[in-house]
A and B are shown apart, each in its own frame.
Chain A
Amino acid sequence: RKEVEQDPGPFNVPEGATVAFNCTYSNSASQSFFWYRQDCRKEPKLLMSVYSSGNEDGRFTAQLNRASQYISLLIRDSKLSDSATYLCVVNNDKIIFGKGTRLHILP
């Protein structure tokens, strides 16, 4: 099993729809988790941290499932500007980025 694994996509989703994707990790001792977004030819930018209790920021909800060792990102009411690659990051004293999930929001 890869250390951090994401479905590369692309996910082609109509504007206004809800989309969710997961990221699985192999090391059960992993301690902190993040979602970043990366636009084409730009740097990764922090979208949100992922807490055990789950967290929500506007249209975005992140959840952690330690038992099944995955984190998830839910985007509601998707906008054209949400089109990007979404990277999950897992830290267990070693920082590992997933390869990213590409999301295309269609008008």
Chain B
Amino acid sequence: DTAVSQTPKYLVTQMGNDKSIKCEQNLGHDTMYWYKQDSKKFLKIMFSYNNKELIINETVPNRFSPKSPDKAHLNLHINSLELGDSAVYFCASSQTGGRQPQHFGDGTRLSIL
């Protein structure tokens, strides 16, 4: 059983394109997150949603727009992709906000040509 699944696993695209990454969790958690891990391996939170509502929105360009249709899904849409967007994007979920441990998806490796 896949607890947190994200698609696609690899995404190679050209600068300027618009792309989406999908995430679903079947753990019954009420909080979901998007993280970015860059080439220096630093893992940084981008967004957090609790019961479909945005609760954390770190300093992220507004080209990045998360959407949560229900508490089991949190998708990430990126407009006008730039070279600096190349990274691994991880989705995660947890129960009852951030005091509980998070479970991560296996990442989406985004490469901008």
Q: Taking beta carbons and an 8 Å cutoff, which residues of A are in contact with B?
A: 31-32, 34, 42-46, 49, 85, 87, 91, 93-97, 99-100
Contacts and interface: CB of A to CB of B under 8 A. Distances in A.
A88 B6 CA distance: 24
A97 B44 CA distance: 7
Interface string B34-48: 010000111111001
Pick the most buried of B43, B56, B90, B107: most chain A CB atoms within 10 A of its CB.
B43
Contacts, number: 44
B101 A34 contact: yes
A43 B101 contact: no
A32 B98 contact: yes
Interface in B80-113: 90, 98-107
Listed from nearest, the 9 A-B pairs whose CB atoms lie closest are A43-B104, A97-B43, A46-B101, A32-B99, A91-B98, A95-B98, A43-B106, A44-B104, A99-B42
